[in-house]
Amino acid sequence: MFFPKNLAMSNLERPFASYHLWSLVVPNQGQQHWHCQMRRGFMKARQNEPEVQALRSQITAAQQIGLLAQQGVYEFHRNRDLFVVADGVERVASILELDGLSVQVRTRVLNILHRYYTKPILRRKRILLMTRGDEGFPKPIWIIRKNYRFRLYAMMDCVVMEPDNTLHILDFKTGKSPFDQRQALVYLLAARYLYPGYRMIASFYNLENSHKSEVIRVSNRELDQVEGELALIATKHYQDVQKYKNSGQFSQIFPPNPGKHCRYCPFHRICEFAQLD
Ligand code: SF4
């Protein structure tokens, strides 16, 4: 992996930003009441501790469904003959090894596969990029400006070239979570570096209910603002982690916000502030 010469030391210590970090630092609209900074601390400052690692590696049913749904779409497009054979869904289900999974996961993923098989929204599209979702961390994009520098991580599900040569970044969703426009903004910013010179749009598509978001398009000036916001988030998080490493004052730097939401937090078993009544 190439790193700029003056950034070659301690790269993993350098500030970084991603949609996930943005969502951990700043709550989405309407979610302020259950947003917890301590959760960010567990995820992004104490992630190398064995018990935190063990909890982070436990995949929830919702996460498993999201991942398998994306892998299913990927398999359909890897072998487009699967769209025209009568048992296309069963073949993809076999590739995904759905047998042996819980009834809930298997049933929902099979429904998603059937829905995509009958309504393959990307079948006639020119797909430039499609990921399976289990590739691990993408390569960072180095953003180096006069006032800031940070690594940007953006794992896009799919990039399509529209007939008018507009790049369309599509993010697949499952479940009932609302679309968070910030995710699209991060992808559009990343695409400005990865595919310079193209007009770009982004949207979300829920594979479980076929709900499409509105198309999101922003100006270069707005992307500059997004970049500036991400630079602030990257710096704040970097400083918080350094403070924690130097002082060990976890709850002061990453304050808890206990409540009923703790029962859905992956760290409730090790969090001394968890409210589980
Ligand atoms: S258990 Fe509750 S207080 Fe502790 S990190 Fe999770 S959400 Fe925050």
Helix (H, G, I), strand (E, B) or coil at 251: helix
Residue 100 Cα to chain centre, angstroms: 27
Q: How confident is the model at residue 161 (pLDDT cuts 50, 70, 90)?
A: very high
Instruction: Select from 38, 49, 264 the residue to mutate for testing ligand 1; criterion: most ligand atoms less than 8 Å from CB.
Output: 38
Counting residues of the chain whose pLDDT is more than 90, the rounded percentage is 87
Query: Which residues lie closer than 8 Å to 244 by C-beta, 6 or more apart?
Result: 41, 45, 250, 253, 254
Q: How far apart are CA 180 and CA 153, in angstroms?
A: 17
Location of structure tokens 């009932």 = 176
Average pLDDT over residues 147-167: 96
Residues in contact with ligand 1 (CB, 6 Å cut-off):
36, 38-39, 256-258, 261-262, 265, 267-268, 271, 273-274
Closest atom of ligand 1 to CA, residue 262 = 2
Residue with the bigger pLDDT between 29 and 152: it is 152
DSSP-assigned letter for residue 231: H
Residue 125 and residue 160 in contact, taking contact as beta carbons nearer than 8 Å: yes
> Does residue 93 contact residue 137 with C-beta atoms inside 8 Å?
no
Q: What average pLDDT does range 160-169 have in this prediction? A: 97
Domains of the chain: 32-244 (3.90.320)
Kindly state the tokens that stand for 39: 């959760």
Contact 73, 82 (CB under 8 A): no
Ligand 1 atom closest to residue 265's alpha carbon, by position in its atom list: 6
State yes or no: pLDDT of 6 exceeds 70.
no
Q: Mean pLDDT throughout 23-49?
A: 93
Q: Which atom of ligand 1 lies at the shortest distance from residue 256's CA?
A: 3
Q: Is residue 172 a contact partner of residue 157, using CB atoms and an 8 Å limit?
A: yes
Digit-coded pLDDT (tens) for 193-237: 999 999 999 999 999 999 999 999 999 999 999 999 999 999 999
pLDDT digits (tens, 9 = 90+) for 105-122: 999 999 999 999 999 999
Stated pTM of the model? 0.91
CA of 90 to the centre of ligand 1 (A): 41
- Determine how β-strand 158-161 pairs with β-strand 126-130: antiparallel
Q: Average pLDDT, whole number, for the chain?
A: 93
Distance from the alpha carbon of residue 41 to the mean position of ligand 1, in angstroms:
10
Is residue 179 within 8 Å of residue 19, measured between CB atoms?
A: no
